[in-house]
Structure 1
Amino acid sequence: MSTMIFTIGHSNHPFSRFMELIQKQDIRMVVDVRTRPYSKYTPYFSKKPLEEGLKEYEIEYVYLGNKIGGKPDDAKFYHEGELLYHLLEEDDKYQEGLRILLELARDNKIVIMCSEEDPSHCHRHHLISQSLLKHNFQITHIRGNGDLEKVRSDYQTRLF
């Protein structure tokens, strides 16, 4: 049973760099948490090409952005254009997605993937990682330069 979960933002990395970053951590499953799993600027990170590319490396692809994505359509999750993470975290759909993620993480070495390289600008840090910390998971952000940032229980990150 694993209690370690990684996160990564695909950014505008070449696919080969993305693979290098996740293979270095021996990742076996990519969990895509983008609400809209498509990329105009890096089309190889769109859902179908990404899934096919990962398959070549024997890495499983799972899409959960429809449940735990950070850009819900419902206006009730926003105040003056800002996403209210605490409201989204309480939502039944989010909780269902979190349960699925917890199950996947218990038996697989996973990375949660979104598009934003900097986790401090992404819901994978401000929402998903915080939910996982409450379930005693260790969360580590993989940065684009290869650095690892461990998310501490006080919700701060540090390099290690």
Structure 2
Amino acid sequence: MTKPALSTIGYEGRTIAEFMDALRSADVELVIDVRAVAASRRPGFSKTALAAGLREQGIDYLHLRPLGTPRAGREAARKGRIAEMRAIYEEQLATPEAALAMEQALGEAEARRAALLCYEADAAGCHRTLVAERLVERGGFEVRNL
């Protein structure tokens, strides 16, 4: 039996059209936004505009704010201090709100093809990889970084 697919995607350096193409090519049915702040200066990537654009493509949208990185973690990541970001994010994952959001993410990813969304192009330097790792432990997913 094959493992269900779980994708991760960052929009850094992509146009909204390139982003949507990547999701469609992977047959993604749901985007799970794991940004603490679902706002963007990039056209089409703020929460309301993104949800509407995804809906036009037949893709659902879910924002799970508790799975976002706290400000200090985002600052560490921007400065290339990935280990520090990971430590800060592990503290965030230990909160009751994050635990509930993780359960919701797991249920959704088990029910349909989902993609975890954040900004960074390189999944290795992004907290969405930590979310994906936790989901793999629980759901046995095969992760694809789009």
After TM superposition, the score normalised by the length of structure 1 is 0.76
Which of the two has greater helix per residue?
A: 2
CA apart distance, 1:3: 2.7
Match runs of 1:34-45 below 5 Å:
34-40=35-41, 42-45=42-45
| Structure with more contact order per residue of length (Cα contacts < 8 Å, sep ≥ 6) | 2
What is the rounded CA distance, in whole Å, between the counterparts of 1:34 and 1:68 in structure 2?
7
1:145 — aligned with what?
none
Match runs of 1:1-160 below 5 Å:
3-40=4-41, 42-64=42-64, 66-71=65-70, 82-83=84-85, 84=87, 85-125=89-129, 127-135=130-138, 136-142=140-146
After TM superposition, the score normalised by the length of structure 2 is 0.82
RMSD, aligned CA: 2.0
What is the rounded CA distance, in whole Å, between the counterparts of 1:133 and 1:58 in structure 2?
26
CA apart distance, 1:72: 5.5
Q: 5+ unaligned residues in a row in structure 2: which ranges? A: 74-82
CA apart distance, 1:123: 0.1
CA apart distance, 1:120: 1.2
Deviations 1:141-160 (A, max 9, x none): 11xxxxxxxxxxxxxxxxxx
CA apart distance, 1:90: 2.2
CA apart distance, 1:73: 7.0
Structure 1 residue runs of 4 or more that deviate by more than 6 Å after TM superposition? none
What is the rounded CA distance, in whole Å, between the counterparts of 1:50 and 1:12 in structure 2?
16
Deviations 1:105-147 (A, max 9, x none): 111111111010101110011x2022112112221111xxxxx
What is the rounded CA distance, in whole Å, between the counterparts of 1:33 and 1:4 in structure 2?
18
Q: 5+ unaligned residues in a row in structure 1: which ranges? A: 75-80, 143-160
Q: Number of aligned pairs?
A: 132
